[in-house]
Amino acid sequence: MLRNVLGKTFRFLGYTVQYGCIAHCAFEYLGGIVVCSGPSMEPTIQNSDIVFSENLSRHFYCIRKGDIVIVKSPNDPKSNICKRVIGLEGDKVCTSNPSDFLKSHSYVPKGHVWLEGDNLRNSTDSRCYGPVPYGLIRGRICLKIWPLTDFGFLRASPNGHRFLDD
C-alpha cells in the first residue's frame, strides 16, 4: 500500500517537473500571452489589451525598427515595459521631446536599441533613461488578441516621422 502511494506520488512529481520544463521552454523561447497596462502605447495598444509576444526574434537578432517589444524595465527589473523600437545600434535618433523647439540627436550605441511609446506625451522611455541594452528585450509583440474587435496584427507607428533615415 505504502509502496503504491509513493510510486504514484513520484510519478506525479516526475510528470509535473517534465511539464513544468516544457512550459518554461515554451514561454522562454516561443512566446506567450501578455496583458498590457498603462497609456504609453496608445492608440496602438490600449490599457488592458491582450497581445501575443513571440520570443524567437530576440534570440535570432531579428528585431527591426518599428517593432513593438516587451522589455525588462531599465528602472525596475521586476517589471516589464512595452515600447516601440525607434532605433537600432548605429542609428541616429531624435532624443528630444516633441514639444522641444530645438531638436537634439544622438547615435544608438552598439548592443542597444532606442525605445519610445506611441503616446509621446505620456511615456517614460529612452528619452528619459537612454538607450536600452538589447539583452533586456524579452519578446516582440506580433498580434493583438483582445479586444476581439481589434484582433490582428498591430498597425504602424503614429509617430513614423521620428524614424530617421540618415
Catalytic residue among 53, 57, 83, 144: 83
Domain limits for position 58: 1-163
Judge if pTM exceeds 0.95.
no
Q: How many structural domains are present in the chain?
A: 1
Q: Catalytic residue at 123?
A: no
Q: Which helix (H) or strand (E) holds 86?
A: strand 80-88
Average of per-residue pLDDT across 39-50: 86
Instruction: Answer whether residue 162 shows pLDDT above 70.
Output: no
What is the pLDDT confidence band of residue 157, given thresholds at 50, 70 and 90? low
Beta bridge partners of 83: 69
How many whole angstroms separate alpha carbon 88 and alpha carbon 90? 6
Instruction: Give the pLDDT score at 23.
Output: 80
How many whole angstroms separate alpha carbon 112 and alpha carbon 132? 5
Q: Catalytic residue at 40?
A: yes
List pLDDT tens digits, range 108-142. Answer: 999 999 999 888 888 888 888 889 999 899 999 98
Instruction: Answer whether residue 164 shows pLDDT above 80.
Output: no
List pLDDT tens digits, range 59-82. Answer: 777 888 889 999 998 888 898 899
Higher pLDDT, 104 or 89: 89
Q: What is the CATH number of the domain that holds 69?
A: 2.10.109.10
Q: By three-state DSSP, how is residue 8 classified?
A: helix
